[in-house]
């Protein structure tokens, strides 16, 4: 084989989560009462725009979760020999960024180092100058004259490719609309441009177009330049930012898997059984809330680090060691973040258990387990879903804070927190190195904003207390019916 697949702990959990998500989608599609709220989510323009951006980040995270060892050689007698280094599909796609290190800092799209160095001139004299980069802009013979036209030409070429891809996507959507409504594709284009459709395709395509143009421009420039500059050790900042996406998604999703069982079981149990069970559970999450979360997480992470350091033989590579620490960080974050959702579920269960149909079920001798699974759990799932989606953003920000104070992910892993921590000292330089912090902030802002927009749409669709009624109808079909003869 050309490669040997490697499945880390977090990779296995990510794939398991994707399979479970696919199963949920299939189940929801078969039940009309479950499809109705998701239709309302799909009719939210801001929610679907956020979903497009969020899907891009998920794609990056999935590509970075496909790990393997490349073939290093070997013959037929000894078999294949694979490299020790574990890489991902995203590393292979970004090989041109990873394998072009510079000496130290360079500005975004720069062709020379950011700091002066002493160079020796041909006549033997020494001078303080900005040296040329080894890779960024190395194809320019006269950079002072050629840099600006070259950057503009490459950016325009990338934007043109992105626009062509967007036109193809918009044409496919228009063809689908024309086939669904029975109208011509020209009328579908006009309805799409005017926003006359039930589905907010205009917002979806606008977001997709901006994303395609941005990605294609960055790809066109990344072939010859460092789009977001380089770090202190000369590593491409765009590569660091893209590698940080997987860590943020893993923290936001796997922590939820740890949090949900505690919150659902204890919250519903406290509200349904009341009495001494309610007192014990309340005492448990009140005590846990009284402990500073940062201190508890720091203590747990340091204990795990001692376990890893004292057993080096159990971890053949640094990637596996860092992955175990990441998994443990997800676990401790989940253990410390279930109390809020547990309190909400307890209050909702206390209200539901007093309803007439619950009292009737108890009077007829229905078991507690059946009442909880058939009557209470389905009626509190909207709270669970809303809390999970909205908790994602706070968990992404929590990773950045924990890595900034040194108790987050392993220092060998690239994350938004480690980027911000490294940029802390760079801001004090003269001239100031600003692009590492700006890049981490920009990617985090886009990820958290898209997650929040999608979470708002989910809350409006599933929360029964939000009275948002919108006339969802297909205007194009209505206009066609109005023009038809009686």
Q: What is the pLDDT along the chain (486 residues), one digit of tens a residue?
A: 677 888 888 888 889 888 988 988 898 888 887 788 888 888 888 989 999 999 999 999 999 999 888 877 655 456 677 777 888 899 889 888 888 888 888 889 888 888 777 777 777 777 777 888 888 888 888 888 888 999 999 999 999 999 999 999 988 888 888 887 777 777 877 877 777 777 888 889 999 999 999 999 999 999 889 999 898 888 899 999 999 999 989 988 888 888 888 899 999 998 888 888 889 988 888 888 888 877 888 888 888 888 888 887 777 778 888 888 888 888 888 888 888 889 999 998 998 888 888 888 888 888 888 888 888 888 888 888 878 877 887 888 888 788 877 778 888 888 888 888 888 777 777 778 888 889 988 998 999 899 888 888 887 887 655 544 444 444 444 545 555 554
CA-based angle 465:470:473, to the nearest 5? 145
Provide CB contacts within 8 A for 137, sequence distance 6+. Answer: 110, 111, 112, 143, 147, 224, 225
User: What are the residues facing 236 on neighbouring strands?
Assistant: 230
Q: How far is the C-alpha of 41 from the C-alpha of 28, rounded, in Å?
A: 14
Provide CB contacts within 8 A for 55, sequence distance 6+. Answer: none
CA-nearest of 224, 80, 213 to 157 is: 213
CA-nearest of 264, 389, 255 to 329 is: 255
Instruction: Answer yes or no: are the C-beta atoms of 364 and 375 closer than 8 Å.
Output: no
The whole-number pLDDT of residue 486 equals: 47
Helix axes 377-405, 435-462, angle to 10 degrees: 170
DSSP state of 132: B
How many beta carbons lie within 10 A of that of residue 431, not counting itself? 9
């Amino acid at each position: 084989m050309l490669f040997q697949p490697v499945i880390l702990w977090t990779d296995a959990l990510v794939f398991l989560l994707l399979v479970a998500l696919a199963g949920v989608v299939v189940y929801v599609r078969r039940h009309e009462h479950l499809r109705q709220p998701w239709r309302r989510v799909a009719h939210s323009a801001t929610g679907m725009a956020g979903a497009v951006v969020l899907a891009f980040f998920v794609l990056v995270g999935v590509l970075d979760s496909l790990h393997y060892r490349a073939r290093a050689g070997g013959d037929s007698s000894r078999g294949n020999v694979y490299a020790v280094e574990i890489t991902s599909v995203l590393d292979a796609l970004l090989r041109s960024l990873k394998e072009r290190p510079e000496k130290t800092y360079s500005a975004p799209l720069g062709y020379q180092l950011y700091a002066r160095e002493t160079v020796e001139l041909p006549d033997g004299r020494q001078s303080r100058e900005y040296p040329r980069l080894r890779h960024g802009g190395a194809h320019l013979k006269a950079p002072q004259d050629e840099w600006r036209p070259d950057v503009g030409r490459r950016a325009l070429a990338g934007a043109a490719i992105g626009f062509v891809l967007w036109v193809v996507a918009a044409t496919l959507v228009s063809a689908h609309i024309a086939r669904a409504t029975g109208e011509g594709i020209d009328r579908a284009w006009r309805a799409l441009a005017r926003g006359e459709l039930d589905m907010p395709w205009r917002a979806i395509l606008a977001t997709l177009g901006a994303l395609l143009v941005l990605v294609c421009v960055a790809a066109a420039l990344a072939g010859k330049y460092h789009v977001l500059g380089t770090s202190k050790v000369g590593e491409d900042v765009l590569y660091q930012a893209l590698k940080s996406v997987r860590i943020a998604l893993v923290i936001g999703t796997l922590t939820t898997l740890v949090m949900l069982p505690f919150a659902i079981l204890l919250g519903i149990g406290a509200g349904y059984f009341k009495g001494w069970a309610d007192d014990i559970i309340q005492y448990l999450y009140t005590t846990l809330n009284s402990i500073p979360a940062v201190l508890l997480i720091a203590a747990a992470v340091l204990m795990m680090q001692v376990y890893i350091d004292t057993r080096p033989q159990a971890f053949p590579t640094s990637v596996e060691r860092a992955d175990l620490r990441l998994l443990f960080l997800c676990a401790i974050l989940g253990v410390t973040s279930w109390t809020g959702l547990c309190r909400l579920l307890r209050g909702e269960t206390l209200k539901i258990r007093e309803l007439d149909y619950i009292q009737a079920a108890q009077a007829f001798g229905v078991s507690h387990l059946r009442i909880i699974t058939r009557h209470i759990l389905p009626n509190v799932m909207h709270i669970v879903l809303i809390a999970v989606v909205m908790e994602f953003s706070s968990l992404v920000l929590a990773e950045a804070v924990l890595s900034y104070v040194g108790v987050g992910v392993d220092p060998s892993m690239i994350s938004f927190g480690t980027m911000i921590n490294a940029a802390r000292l760079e801001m004090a330089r003269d001239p100031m190195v600003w692009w590492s912090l700006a890049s981490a902030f920009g990617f985090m802002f886009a990820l958290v904003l898209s997650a929040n927009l999608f979470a708002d749409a989910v809350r409006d669709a599933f929360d029964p207390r939000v009275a948002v009624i919108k006339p969802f109808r297909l205007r194009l079909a209505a206009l066609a019916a109005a023009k038809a003869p009686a």
